[in-house]
Each structure stands twice: as structure tokens, then as C-alpha cells.
Structure 1
Amino acid sequence: MRNTALLIVDMVKDFTDPEGLVFYPQNREVLPKIKEVLEECRKHDVLVIFFRHSYRKDKFDKNLINMRPNCIEGSGGDEIDSMLEVDEKKDYVIRKRRYSGFFGTDLDLVLRENKIENVIVVGTKTNCCIRATVTDAYYNDYNAYVVSDCVATNDEVVNQVHLTDIRKYFGKVVTSEELYDLLGKGEL
């Protein structure tokens, strides 16, 4: 296995399905490209980690005070979109309740156990979950690569502002084609 992991952030039904509680069309648009990246990473023996944003049913969570309820366990809204197949034997699925995939989860332990140095980040909410995960990856000394055509938020200007900040301060921003080139050359 390479020293690289693909982090698929919160591509769950409440975000990706038109019937989802916090759906926006941009997530549906990036799903096919994320699926391509997932398949390409698997060809190159990249560790795959899915994040499943999931709040506990009928339990208090500070995050839900200021936002619409979403991604509640047992509702179906916190299930990974069926377009992205999870390999139960190889992939990790990590539940999270905060924006960062590192906060309150065992992500760092999983990455270190698998000798991961580089993380490829795709998924939803560039301004929240992507940015927070990449920031924490930076602080934990991982090299972060955000795939620009595989992330989304509900406003393209906001999306670009956060990609610009990530590129400037926290990691690299690449297109899926640039990612495939890096994987093919063995640079990731």
C-alpha cells in the first residue's frame, strides 16, 4: 500500500440526494467525478476512508443548535450515497459529528497505523468540513491534496475563496487529471 489515503468527506444522502435535508445540487454534480477518483485511487492501492457525518438520534448536539437537523442516525440521511461503493473489507468508514474529520474521531490513529503521509480530500462543504479537515491534516503534519473538481459547497464564490486559502496556507489544490498524473508517476 502507498503512503496515501483518499478521504471522502460527508457524501451522505442528506447532502447528496434531492430529498435530503440539506441537499444542494453542487453535491450531485461532483458525485460522478468523486466516483472516478475513488476508482482511480483503488487502482493505485490508495487507502480509502469515508466520513459519515452522523448525529445521535434524540441526543443533544451543540452543532444542531444553529442549523437545521440533518444526518441523524437511523434516518437514512447519514448513509453514504449509493453511487460510492464502500469495500467493507478494505475501506474505513468513520463517523463524525464536527466539521473536521480529525476532531473526536480515530482518523489520526488510522492514518498513522497505515503509515499514511499524504491525504487526498474530496467531498462536500469546502468552507466547513473540507477546510476544517485539511487544516487539521496540516496541523498533524500530513500533506493534503484537495481535488478542486471533487469538492463543493452551495456557493461557487465561497468554494473558490476556500480553495484559494487552502492552496496558499494548508496544502495543494489539484484537478482530478493532475491527481491521476501524480498517482501514475508514483508521486502520491
Structure 2
Amino acid sequence: MAKTALIIVDMVRDFTSPDGKVFYPQNQAILPNIQKVLAKCREYGALIIFIRNSYRKDKYDKNLQTMRVNCIEGTGGDEIDPSLKVDPVKDYVIKKRRYSSFFGTDLDLVLRENGVKNVIVVGTKTNCCIRATVTDAYYLNYEVYVVSECVATNDETVNRVHLEDINKYLGHVVTMDELFEKFEGGIL
């Protein structure tokens, strides 16, 4: 069993594609870095989990009352970015409807069933979905690593402030090189 899991949060077409409903260029810019981390995690046998922000078509959802309508099932906007290849046999794809990848999903159960102790979190948006996911992972006693070049939001100052808080209170913010050293050193 893998003791480490890579959690890729909300890298779906509405966030990553220029024609997406809530596209930010920063999300597209981090895709190559996430691809590298994904490849390294596969190489070292980490469990791969894609979190897919997905709202039910024609159904009420509180989140959609305060934001632009996005990631509606059946529109293609909630599909994982095609540059991030999902292995349908080994990888998990977990749908969510709230900021935290843990809330209302079976993510914690999947991690525990697979003996995961360490979670690497990458994706979008640092101030909402990344922060909420990291906070819940911390409360559930996972050792959390956020890769600084693999998270983004639409404002670099906001991104930096949230990464500083995560590093101070909730986990470890590491560079890609530092993450790869942890794999090579057997820490992850």
C-alpha cells in the first residue's frame, strides 16, 4: 500500500481551459508542473486521486448562489483537464461540491483504506479549495505537503499569503525539487 497520496484538486476544464467558465491563466500555467509531479508520484508508487468539482445539472447548490455558475455535470466543464492523464484502473476520481475535497466525499475513507499517511496537495484555488482541503487533511491527522509551483489562484498576493499560513499552521509548503528529494530520500 502507498503511504503517500497525490491529491489533484479541481484541475477541470472550467478552471484550466481558456473557454472555461472560471478560467484563470494561472491555472493553465501550473499544468506542466502538475504533470511533472504526477509523473514522479506514479514513479514512486503514490496513490493518485483526482478531485473533480462537479455540480448537479438543474439542481440547487448553495455554492452556486454566491459564484459564477461552473463545473456543471454534462457540460464538459467538470471534466479533468485532458493533459492530466487518469489511469482508470489505478487512480481515483472523486467528485465534490464544496471547497474541501473531504467534505461530503469518501476521500478520507479511500486514503485510510490505502494506508496513506502523507498527502501531497496540488491544484486550484489556493485560497478556497486548496486551503479547505489542507485544513481538513490537517484535522484528520495527515502529514500535508503543498507544492508551491503547483497551486494557483487569480491573485499572486492572495496565493502567497495562503501558502505562508499553510506552511506555518497546517503542513509543509515545498518546492518541486524539495518534494522530489523527499521521495528520493524515502521520506515520502
TM-score class normalised by the smaller sequence = over 0.9
Instruction: State how far apart, in whole Å, the 2-side matches of 1:112 and 1:154 are.
Output: 33
Instruction: State how far apart, in whole Å, the 1-side matches of 2:2 and 2:75 are.
Output: 36
Deviation at 1:154, TM superposition (A): 0.2
Deviation at 1:58, TM superposition (A): 0.1
- Which one-letter code corresponds to 1:83 in the other structure? S
Q: Tell me the secondary structure at the aligned position of residue 35 of structure 1.
A: helix
For 1:145, the equivalent position in structure 2 comes to: 145
TM-superposition CA deviations, 1:131-173 (whole Å, max 9, x none): 0000000000000000000000000000000000000000000
The reply to whether residue 186 of structure 1 matches residue 183 of structure 2 is no
Question: TM-score by structure 2 length?
Answer: 0.99
Instruction: State how far apart, in whole Å, the 2-side matches of 1:101 and 1:6 are.
Output: 12
Instruction: State how far apart, in whole Å, the 2-side matches of 1:116 and 1:66 are.
Output: 34
The reply to whether residue 31 of structure 1 matches residue 31 of structure 2 is yes
Instruction: State how far apart, in whole Å, the 2-side matches of 1:42 and 1:74 are.
Output: 29
For 1:134, the equivalent position in structure 2 comes to: 134
- Which one-letter code corresponds to 2:120 in the other structure? I
Deviation at 1:27, TM superposition (A): 0.3
For 2:16, the equivalent position in structure 1 comes to: 16
For 1:111, the equivalent position in structure 2 comes to: 111
Instruction: State how far apart, in whole Å, the 1-side matches of 2:122 and 2:23 are.
Output: 17
Q: Tell me the secondary structure at the aligned position of residue 64 of structure 1.
A: helix
TM-superposition CA deviations, 1:100-142 (whole Å, max 9, x none): 0000000000000000000000000000000000000000000
Instruction: State how far apart, in whole Å, the 2-side matches of 1:137 and 1:26 are.
Output: 24
- Which one-letter code corresponds to 2:57 in the other structure? K
For 1:102, the equivalent position in structure 2 comes to: 102
- Which one-letter code corresponds to 1:37 in the other structure? V
For 2:81, the equivalent position in structure 1 comes to: 81
- Report % sequence identity: 70
Q: Tell me the secondary structure at the aligned position of residue 87 of structure 1.
A: coil
Q: Tell me the secondary structure at the aligned position of residue 145 of structure 2.
A: strand
For 2:52, the equivalent position in structure 1 comes to: 52
Instruction: State how far apart, in whole Å, the 2-side matches of 1:66 and 1:126 are.
Output: 18
Deviation at 1:2, TM superposition (A): 2.8
Uncovered stretches (5+) of structure 2, i.e. residues with no partner: none
Cα RMSD of the aligned pairs, angstroms, is: 0.4
Uncovered stretches (5+) of structure 1, i.e. residues with no partner: none
TM-superposition CA deviations, 1:23-66 (whole Å, max 9, x none): 01000000000000000000000000000000000000000001
Instruction: State how far apart, in whole Å, the 1-side matches of 2:150 and 2:173 are.
Output: 11
Instruction: State how far apart, in whole Å, the 1-side matches of 2:111 and 2:49 are.
Output: 9
Q: How many residue pairs are counted as aligned between the two chains?
A: 188
- Which one-letter code corresponds to 2:36 in the other structure? E
Find runs of 4+ consecutive structure 1 residues off by over 4 angstroms.
none
